Amino acid sequence: MPEIRVRRSSSKHPKTMIRSVSDLNLEGKRVLCRVDFNVPQNSDGTIADDTRIAAAIPTIRNIIEKGGIPILMSHLGRPKGSPNPKYELASVALRLTELLQDVTVYFANDCIGEEAEKTVKNAKQGEAVLLQNLRFYAEEEANDTEFAKRLAALGDVYVNDAFGAAHRAHASTAGITEFFPERGAGLLMLKEIKYLGSVIGSPEHPLLAILGGAKVSGKIDVLSNLLDKCDVILIGGGMMFTFLKAMGGETGDSMVEDDRVAMARKILSEAKSKNVRLILPADTIASTEFSNDTERKTVDAEFIPDGWRGLDIGPKTAAIFRLEILAAKTIVWNGPMGVFEMSNFAAGTRSVAEAMAEATLNGSITIVGGGDSAAAMAQFGLSDTVSHVSTGGGASLEFLEGKTLPGVAALEY
């Protein structure tokens, strides 16, 4: 894979460069690789979804094929700086062994110190090591230099493939890079930068963004940034009601953020002045309670009766959104259209997911920006039907907000 050039706004640094793991000389080297094995767990601690482990396999294989020994490090959950059996990575090491099959994976029950050093030293070419949860040390999240140095002592070369953790300046994602003149991005990290970067860089137009999810407050920065780039923005999910209220609509008992109505009005007027078609739902599936088993009916989105709340986009909206999606060349989607976790309110989200799949078949670039929309794609069995599903919820949102991710910036030369 070629080097990725990242454009910076400063004229002093007009262009910087990130090297790919594929371009690094790894023969006989211990490759300290930050991965994102922060997998969802069941209540008994077993792995609920191994997507993130599977997503790191191409990079791990690439390192092994080039004669390097992958020394993998990750966080899991929020153990708040001390060891906690609930967040141990041992079960991840087992799953990794299953996925890698022919590669022996050694697990070190610490990420620094004697045990880590011994395990790393004993590993041979063709084998791999997984270190214990980085967040068992508070120094990880504090981006502590001494801790970063102790981690760095375990490898000759540094690779970061943890896009999902790249929006945090932690010891293993940021501080550590100063100890490695030889560093690069893993294949997953490069894929994320390529696809999400294609939205905010120079996308093929028309560029369409679909935004949903519970609240407008979490999406204001992404909306502001996308207003400068998109031709069309579709809004669904709980956040649509704040916009509908801003337009004078009757929202009944729907979720409305009253303190964001003025902001929604501002966004609507900015969209107009920037010639962005911002499309709100025409209808909604409303219910009398926040429950799957309650009375529901399709109502006009601007006239939701008192006592009723919108929990999904309606069929008319789904049809309009589908046509908009099929007319676009680049589509990015963040946030479900309704409460897709409840089967009676999942149709709108499913219909957007299916339209994304259709658009992909027509040759459009389709990107799902992690988090709940990625969970929805997985729930519908449609994850493989789009160009890219981001593995990072918060990181993909910050990327689309136009922010520099510390974990990406630290890889630059």
Q: Does the active-site annotation cover 371?
A: yes
CB atoms within 10 A of CB 7: 11
Per-residue tokens: 42: 């069941």
In the complex, what is the shortest distance from the CB of residue 307 to ligand AMP, in angstroms, rounded to a whole number?
A: 15
| C-alpha distances in Å from residue 24, one per residue of 61, 155, 178, 192, 264 | 14, 14, 17, 19, 47
Instruction: Verify binding: residue 255, ligand AMP, rule CB under 6 A.
Output: yes
CA dist., res. 356 & res. 371, Å (int): 17
Q: Are strands 4-7 and 15-18 parallel, antiparallel or unpaired?
A: antiparallel
In the complex, what is the shortest distance from the CB of residue 398 to ligand AMP, in angstroms, rounded to a whole number?
A: 14
Instruction: Verify binding: residue 310, ligand AMP, rule CB under 6 A.
Output: yes
Instruction: Verify binding: residue 175, ligand AMP, rule CB under 6 A.
Output: no
Instruction: Verify binding: residue 371, ligand AMP, rule CB under 6 A.
Output: yes
Q: Does the active-site annotation cover 237?
A: no
Catalytic hit among 19, 29, 30, 52 = 52
Nearer to ligand AMP by Cβ, of 107 and 321: the residue is 321
- Sequence-distant (≥ 6) Cβ neighbours of residue 296 within 8 angstroms: 285, 286, 287, 288, 311, 344, 345
Q: What is the DSSP string of 278-337?
A: EE--SEEEEESSSSTTS-EEEEETTEEPTT-EEEEE-HHHHHHHHHHHHH-SEEEEES-S
Give all strands (DSSP E) within 206-255, no chain letters: 207-211, 232-235, 250-251
Instruction: Verify binding: residue 141, ligand AMP, rule CB under 6 A.
Output: no
Q: Does the active-site annotation cover 338?
A: no
CA dist., res. 392 & res. 371, Å (int): 7
Instruction: Verify binding: residue 318, ligand AMP, rule CB under 6 A.
Output: no
User: x/- site string to ligand AMP, residues 268 to 307, per CB under 6 A?
Assistant: ----------------------------------------
- Chosen residue from 68, 186, 203, 238 binding ligand AMP by CB under 6 A: 238
DSSP type of residue 363 = T
Which of 174, 166, 114, 116 lies closest to 145 in space, CA to CA? Answer: 174
- Chosen residue from 161, 372, 398, 412 binding ligand AMP by CB under 6 A: 372
Q: Does the active-site annotation cover 329?
A: no
Nearer to ligand AMP by Cβ, of 161 and 372: the residue is 372
On whether the CB atoms of residues 70 and 60 are closer than 8 A, the answer is yes
Q: What angle do CA 386, 390, 392 make, to 5 degrees?
A: 165
In the complex, what is the shortest distance from the CB of residue 339 to ligand AMP, in angstroms, rounded to a whole number?
A: 4
State the DSSP H helix or E strand holding residue 6, giving kind and residue range, or none if neither. Answer: strand 4-7
In the complex, what is the shortest distance from the CB of residue 168 to ligand AMP, in angstroms, rounded to a whole number?
A: 18
Instruction: Verify binding: residue 392, ligand AMP, rule CB under 6 A.
Output: no
User: x/- site string to ligand AMP, residues 177 to 206, per CB under 6 A?
Assistant: ------------------------------
User: x/- site string to ligand AMP, residues 108 to 127, per CB under 6 A?
Assistant: --------------------
Which of 369, 10, 55 lies closest to 198 in space, CA to CA? Answer: 369
CA dist., res. 254 & res. 311, Å (int): 8
Instruction: Verify binding: residue 370, ligand AMP, rule CB under 6 A.
Output: no
User: x/- site string to ligand AMP, residues 41 to 80, per CB under 6 A?
Assistant: ----------------------------------------
Catalytic hit among 155, 371, 392, 393 = 371
What residues are annotated to the active site?
A: 52, 215, 371, 394
Contacting positions for ligand AMP (CB under 6 A)? 213-215, 218, 237-238, 255, 310-311, 335-336, 338-339, 341, 371-372
